[in-house]
Amino acid sequence: MQTYNLPDVGEGLTEAEIVQWHVKPGDTVAVNDVVAEIETAKSLVELPSPYAGTVAELLVAEGDTVDVGTPILAVAGADDQPAPTAPSDPAPAAADAGGSVLVGYGTGGEVKTRRRKPRHEVAVASSVGVVAKPPIRKLARDLGIDLADVTASGPAGEVTRDDVLRHAEQAKVFRNLETPQWPTERERRIPVAPASTDDRYETIPVKGVRKATANAMVGSAYTAPHVSVWTDVDASRTMEFVKRLKQQPQFADVRVSPLLVFAKALLWAVQRTPEINSAWVDTEQGAEIHVRNYVNLGIAAATPRGLLVPNIKDAHALSMRELAVALQNLTQTARDGKTTPEDQQGGTITITNIGVFGMDAGTPIINPGEAGIVAMGAIRQKPWVVDGEVRPAWVTTVSGSFDHRIVDGDKISRFIADIAAVLEEPALLLD
């Protein structure tokens, strides 16, 4: 009999939550079979078995948060197998033709997952007969969509990712037309904590991504003195530019949106005011400001797991098309719940696209370790005064928050004005 202890997944973290067991007592497992999904403060990770044998006992319940090194699974018939060892430079996950593996375990071919039917899958049980790949089914489950309701457009009659996302957008519009009833008695979307006997409120444990986000935001808000500025801009030429890019052959397979121009404008503005791309560092000798000569561009992403801020490494060196591809991959990875800890580390400045939620401007909190965060507001047609005449224009608001220890008001204002100038005239990017 061998016990499987919760491993260190190489993120510098000390605990993780058992989100879902994929095995039960009596199941036969091979090395690298996925036995559970765990959630740390940074990522959702599939946990492969280091042993082959029969599952004897699940030592930790789903939903429990345990420390690294805690026994979580007992496997019978694994006594003669050597205990796994982690490499000297572990990564949280690796992928090859054999499938995803965790720290210290090689790949022994395709990873076989023994999944119990998730509770949230009961609501979409009628989707069983629909033709769709496993990642598409997972996406539908995460979005709460029954695949049987989705119109398939794949060449073999299968449901594609675009089909699911299109249906989700349409469903969201109709859901917004309805106001849900107040929950009664035990009809709760979130289970009431066992210690609570009051049905007038619901208790949500603060853990995982939510706990990490809360700690980071409180630390940032009470450490860095924030200052926020904003300006309105006529983005009509940006909208025309995006339309032209979509018609170019080199962008045929890439999603092009105003966010692409906004990101490129920010990179141009950073080059003109590099202090924005800095970090405040406290050392034994005193405080220092580190001005970075590269940009790892963070994009705040709202995901089913909470707020994540993955970043595009060396975004300053990317062409317009390369940046478009990177944005598309980052967004899709976050939406699929596959953002890794490495994707979220090393950011230097962040964009939060609040426009997708219909918001015009905001005063966002700076991501720890950075000096600025810029918000892209919704682009709407509004009356705009030009030479004394009122004309219709596509108007947006550029806003942002900055660490006033590092950047003074004149540079902050110049930086925001530069972004606005590019949105007003994208031809500036050709300079």
How large is the average pLDDT for residues 416-425? 96
- For the segment 393-414, the average pLDDT, to the nearest whole number, is 94
CB atoms within 10 A of CB 157: 9
pLDDT score for 162: 81
- Which residue matches tokens 């106001």? 179
C-alpha torsion sign, points 363, 365, 370, 374: negative
Least-confidence region, from 66-80, 180-194, 222-236, 324-338: 180-194
Among 55-59, 86-90, 91-95, the range of highest mean pLDDT: 55-59
Buried b (16+ CB within 10 A) or exposed e, 313-332: bebbebebbebbbbbbebbe
Per-residue confidence band for 123, with pLDDT thresholds at 50, 70 and 90: very low
In this prediction the pTM is 0.60
Look-up: residue for tokens 């879902």? 20
Q: Is the pLDDT reported for residue 192 higher than 60?
A: no
What pLDDT is attached to residue 185?
A: 54
Sign of CA dihedral 325, 330, 332, 338: positive
- Could you tell me which residues come within 8 angstroms of residue 407 by beta carbon, excluding any fewer than 6 positions away? 275, 276, 278, 371, 372, 415
- Residue 89 has a CB neighbour count (10 Å cut-off) of 6
Task: Please tell me the predicted confidence (pLDDT) of residue 133.
Answer: 79
Residue 208 has pLDDT above 80, yes or no: no
Residue 102 binned pLDDT confidence (cut-offs 50, 70, 90) = very low
Q: pLDDT band for 81, please (50, 70, 90 cuts).
A: low
Structure tokens at 102: 């965790």
Choice among 167, 290, 316, 404 that is catalytic: 404
The three state secondary structure string of 221-265 is: HCCCCEEEEEEEEECHHHHHHHHHHHCCHHHCCCCCCHHHHHHHH
Q: Which residue has the higher pLDDT, 100 or 247?
A: 247
The model's confidence at residue 422, banded by pLDDT at 50, 70 and 90, is very high
Q: Fill in the amino acid letter for 200.
A: R
47 against 130, higher pLDDT: 47
pLDDT at 58 over 80: yes
CA separation for the pair 248, 57 (Å, rounded): 58
For residue 88, the model assigns a pLDDT of: 37
* Mean pLDDT computed over every residue of the chain: 80
Task: Read off the tokens for 427.
Answer: 């031809």
Across residues 255-279, what is the average pLDDT?
Answer: 95
Whether 404 sits among the annotated catalytic residues: the reply is yes
Tell whether the model's pLDDT for residue 325 goes beyond 90: yes
Higher pLDDT, 101 or 134: 134
Instruction: Answer yes or no: are the C-beta atoms of 46 and 84 closer than 8 Å.
Output: no
Per-residue pLDDT averaged across 53-81, rounded? Answer: 85
HSE at residue 295, side-chain half, CA atoms within 13 A, is 29
Phi-psi region of 327 (alpha: psi -120 to 50; beta: other; left: phi over 0): alpha
- Per-residue pLDDT band for 241 (boundaries 50, 70, 90) equals very high
**Rounded-to-integer distance, Cα 275 and Cα 427, Å:** 24
Alpha carbon distance 111, 95 (integer Å): 11
What is the set of domains in the chain, with CATH numbers? 2-101 (2.40.50.100), 118-205 (4.10.320.10), 209-430 (3.30.559.10)
Return the pLDDT at 181: 64
Say which amino acid occupies 181.
Q
Least trusted range by pLDDT, from 28-42, 243-257, 263-277, 313-327: 28-42
- For residue 297, give the H/E element and its range: strand 297-303
